[in-house]
């Protein structure tokens, strides 16, 4: 459902949230190596998150990326919106151009319910909740 860029953005911002306790900046190279993401590709993704005011970019030898605000206030839907846009929740599940409630494709209503649930989860979940779940051992995150 999400582009690779969006998946990398979500993984990277979770990595930053988990590893930047105390507000320390996390370097681009560290993030890229931990997730096996091409450095240049990741740089473009993180710059979109800076432009979207979710991350701060700090230049210099001790530079890197920090969250722009509390992880309790940053919801996953914001990252999805910045990278993929929210129109992904309006697209046809099988890619038809003219799929709607009035002219549904064969899986329209089932996909609509699933997309609504995914949107709800992304709207409700914060970076803090994800990080806390990992810290408590309720979720497992493997940064390759």
DSSP states along the chain: ---HHHHHHHHHHHHHHHH-TTS--B-HHHHHHHHT--HHHHHHHHHHHHHTTSEEEE-STT-EEEESS-TTT-BHHHHHHHHT-GGGGTS-TT--TT-SSSS--TTHHHHHHHHHHHHHHHHH-BHHHHHHHHHTTSS-----
What are the domain boundaries of the chain? Answer: 4-135
Mean residue pLDDT of the chain comes to: 92
| Residues 53-68: tens digit of each pLDDT | 999 999 988 889 999 9
Report the C-alpha gap between 139 and 19 in whole angstroms: 16
The CATH number of 4-135 is: 1.10.10.10
Whether pTM exceeds 0.85: yes
The mean pLDDT value for 9-16 works out to: 95
């Amino acid at each position: 459902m999400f582009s690779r860029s969006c998946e990398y953005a979500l993984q990277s911002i979770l990595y930053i949230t988990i590893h930047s306790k105390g507000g320390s900046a996390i370097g681009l190279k560290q993030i890229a190596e931990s997730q096996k993401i091409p450095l240049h590709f990741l740089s473009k993704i993180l710059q979109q998150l800076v432009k979207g005011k979710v991350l701060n970019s700090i230049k210099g030898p001790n530079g890197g990326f920090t969250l722009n605000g509390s992880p309790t206030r940053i919801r996953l839907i914001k990252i999805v919106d910045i990278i993929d846009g929210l129109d992904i929740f309006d697209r046809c599940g099988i890619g038809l151009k003219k799929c709607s409630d009035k002219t549904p494709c064969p899986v329209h209503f089932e996909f609509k319910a699933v997309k609504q649930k995914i949107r709800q989860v992304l709207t409700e979940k914060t970076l803090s909740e994800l990080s806390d779940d990992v810290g408590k051992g309720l979720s497992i995150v493997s940064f390759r």
